[in-house]
Structure 1
């Protein structure tokens, strides 16, 4: 029983029933108040008219009072004409109600009346006026008619309250049942996700209501989680694969050096070669950790105004000796009128440096690398273009994945993390990356940097 009372369906049905009952009671109270007020106002209008009509001509007051009384078929009309000393002159009221103000307005007054030969104490709606000769006219009406009408309204409203409450509970149960079925299917899907089935998705209806929007948002979150998990698995496999090769080579090199070295010089040479491979391994691990740090957004504290022209020029100056060493022409084209952007200067410099390093690495001897900064609508565009083998169209969306290396790049030294680091920095800053074919058939990578929000 306690499980039922704690359920969402029970609480929803109970809440709807209570709310409907409260609204019904409010409506019933308004109807009762309006009905009683309407009937009392109508009776007051009649009594005010009759008492003023009877007092309009003192010589005919008695006759008019008798007419008011004689027209009554249900013994609810009362009236009286009294002399200044209180003696009854006409009507069916034996005595003037002493508590009745003589202002012509209607008041509820208790007095003695004669009905069917019996004298009774009744509450009457009464109005009284003093005439010019000192006599007093009183016109009254029984309150039972209005009281019976009020009781009838209350009884009708009370009888209607039961069905209203029953239908409210039924409607609440039906609505709660519908919601419970949707929640049950959602709960089942979530349970399967909790047990490791990340391909499971929440059911989305066609109504487009809050449940559907919530399910769509959760499904989007699950898509992202599945993507990240696949990426983590891929990164783990790639790390294991890329670490195994240098570590195996290192172990073999050290074993061979220990067993075959004829002097200290050859042993030192083997150790030095092992240290080189260890450094390469550490560089790869450091790059992975750095990408993870950037992707988790831990570098926002260093954001500030950045002059892209200065950053691009410094990166080109840094790689100019390497380009000359390979016989590559490094061309620089920077628009000095570009506005500053908001970002981490060191990270942006690192991204441009990685693009330049990648371009120089894949550009053949006597080739050309062009780095530029220009404007495209409201964007600042950093471009790096080479005359190397280029990137096939089918691989352009994959080159920014960590450890991904195309077939053309497998013969070149590297670990496939350079462009992954560029992608992480771009995502942190809200930049877009575009890979196209260069003018000379090579690769062109553009970094689209939006203008900072003026706020």
Structure 2
């Protein structure tokens, strides 16, 4: 397809043609209305002038008779630009005036008519047009008074000529403007098309060009770029997951195989086989938990869980997790507290509960105080072994936080800590898969929120900040009384 062919097929050019047609139609209608009003105004002026003259001539005829009528018409026909005058006898013979010929039948009936005529003093044989009125005098005589329509014709010609040139200018400027706009839009669309072709070829770093006008194409490009960034992040995450699964799951799978092989080679009694099978089952459970976490993260990041969202109270989730993990915390020498204020949420309760549970598990694993960092006198030691689960409303967000007093996460490592299979140096000696914070972050993102990691001085504050819906909050506030602070 040629460049001109692409140009005239663009939506911008077609819209320009439509607007051009509508504007030309409007301009033609406006000029036509102006021409019609001009014609009407001239006819009204002629009518008023002729009526006044006929009334005056009839008065003279009544007072002075035919002789006065003849003298009056003789004087008036000699004026420059005189009107048309003609008086005929009852037999139809011309008695006086300046008209030589008229269209047939004009003098036969009274009233207004438009007719062709020729004056007595004209040398050429051309006929002109006039608007005349015929009235009947006493004794059967007929009087015709009229006005030439050349002025009306010239005025109409001026309007018609102006209309033609105006329409021509409108068409030329409209086509020129349409071509300019279409070329500009086509240039931007071609740039976007080139970028999308590179993206389809595998270059996910490509982005659509965004101008400075802020028009609809710029807004579209910005939204598409945001979508491309999300797609690139998902593809990068998919690649990282594949790499991480290949590396991080290879070790437990190899260990599982080696233990089974060792059991076959060295175990002889039933007790030894049972112990080997128990270790194998334990290792398999760990692998299953890892895959379940991966599936839950994928479910959250793909948005599949949006269909199971409902209204609930974040305080109920916080109290439920506290009740579930309080015995586990006590076994590790920690105190688990809950501070639950009623806060309405609209979301997937299962995923939010799992995300909060992951934060509590991390706090129990890594939230023990470090004697090398903080003193362990009686008062400080008691407070440092506390883990706080808290739910509250803050502005337009609902916060679910877990605070511990362990080593925490250095600020430079917090962004890296939410990635899949990432385990910081301080936690490599403890069991785990490195998916807890990653799942919590994915769940927060699914609900339009974020996972915030802050400093508890010492320790870590991990917070799920999720936008609250006003309508849901109003319904739950009417149904659920405020939950007082509770200390376990």
Aligned length: 446
Match of 1:169 among 166, 172, 175: 175
Q: Is 1:71 aligned to residue 73 of structure 2?
A: no
The equivalent of 1:140 in structure 2 is: 146
Matches of 1:379 and 1:218, distance apart in 2: 27
Change (3 A) 1:406 1:70: farther
Deviation at 1:72? 4.7
Equivalent position of 1:193 in the other structure: 199
Distance 1:341 1:21 in 2: 55
Shift of 1:120: 8.1
Contact kept? 1:51, 1:137, Cα under 8 Å: no
What's 2:456 paired with?
A: 438
CA RMSD, Structure 1 to Structure 2 (Å): 3.3
Q: Classify 1:23/1:344 alpha carbon distance in 2 versus 1 (closer, same or farther; 3 Å).
A: closer
Counterpart Cα distance in 2 of 1:144 and 1:58: 29
**Counterpart of 2:230?**
224
In structure 1, the gaps of 5 or more residues are: none
Pairing partner for 2:410 from 392, 398, 413: 392
Does the aligned pair in 1 maintain the 2:50–2:146 contact within 8 Å?
Answer: no
Offset at residue 62 of structure 1 (A): 4.7
Q: How does 1:195-274 map to 2 (within 5 A)?
A: 195-274=201-280
Partner of 1:429: 447
- Match of 1:397, SS state, is helix
**1:173 to 1:303, Cα distance in 2 relative to 1, 3 A:** closer
1:356 counterpart = 2:347: no
In structure 1, what is the Cα distance between the partners aligned to 2:362 and 2:70?
120
Q: Give the whole-Å Cα distance in 2 for the aligned partners of 1:373 and 1:159.
A: 75
Aligned-partner SS, 1:415: coil
**Other structure's SS at 2:338 match:** strand
Alpha-carbon separation, structure 2, partners of 1:118 and 1:291: 102
- Whole-Å separation in 2 of the counterparts to 1:250 and 1:223: 39
Moved more, 196-205 or 81-90: 81-90
The change in CA–CA distance for 1:395 and 1:132 in structure 2 (over 3 A counts) is farther
Three-state SS of the structure 2 residue aligned to 1:364 is coil
Aligned to 1:342: 346
Q: Which residue of 2 aligns with 1:38?
A: 38
Q: 2:406 & 2:32 partners in 1: Cα distance?
A: 90
TM-score by length of 1: 0.84
Structure 1 residues 188 and 429: CA distance shift in structure 2, 3 A: closer
- Corresponding position: 1:92 with 2:98: yes
Distance in structure 1 (CA, Å) of the matches to 2:278 and 2:35: 104
**Residues 324, 185 of structure 1: CA spacing in aligned structure 2 closer, same or farther, 3 A cutoff?**
same
1:397-412, aligned counterparts within 5 Å?
397-412=415-430
Q: Residues 62 and 199 of structure 1: is their aligned pair in 2 closer, same or farther, counting only changes over 3 Å? A: farther
In 1: Cα distance, 2:247 partner to 2:351 partner: 28
Deviations 1:180-221 (A, max 9, x none): 222222222221111111112222222222222222222222
Does structure 1 retain, via aligned residues, the 8 Å contact 2:343–2:392?
Answer: no
Residues 240 and 65 (structure 1), Cα distance of their counterparts in 2 relative to 1, 3 Å cut: farther
Is the Cα contact below 8 Å between 1:307 and 1:340 reproduced in 2? yes
Contact 2:451 2:463 in 1 (8 A): yes
Deviations 1:320-375 (A, max 9, x none): 1111111111222233xx24332333333222222211111112277221222334
- Greater shift after overlay, 215-224 or 445-454? 445-454
Aligned to 2:20: 20
> 2:486 corresponds to which residue?
none
SS in structure 1 at match of 2:132: strand
Do the aligned residues in 1 keep the contact of 2:73 with 2:85 (CA within 8 Å)? Answer: yes
Between the aligned partners of 1:422 and 1:267, the Cα distance in structure 2 is 39
- Specify the SS of the correspondent of 1:193: helix
Counterpart of 1:370 in structure 2 is 388
Matched-pair contact (CA < 8 Å) for 1:40–1:146: no
TM-score (norm 2): 0.79
User: How many Å separate the matches in 2 of 1:181 and 1:345?
Assistant: 49
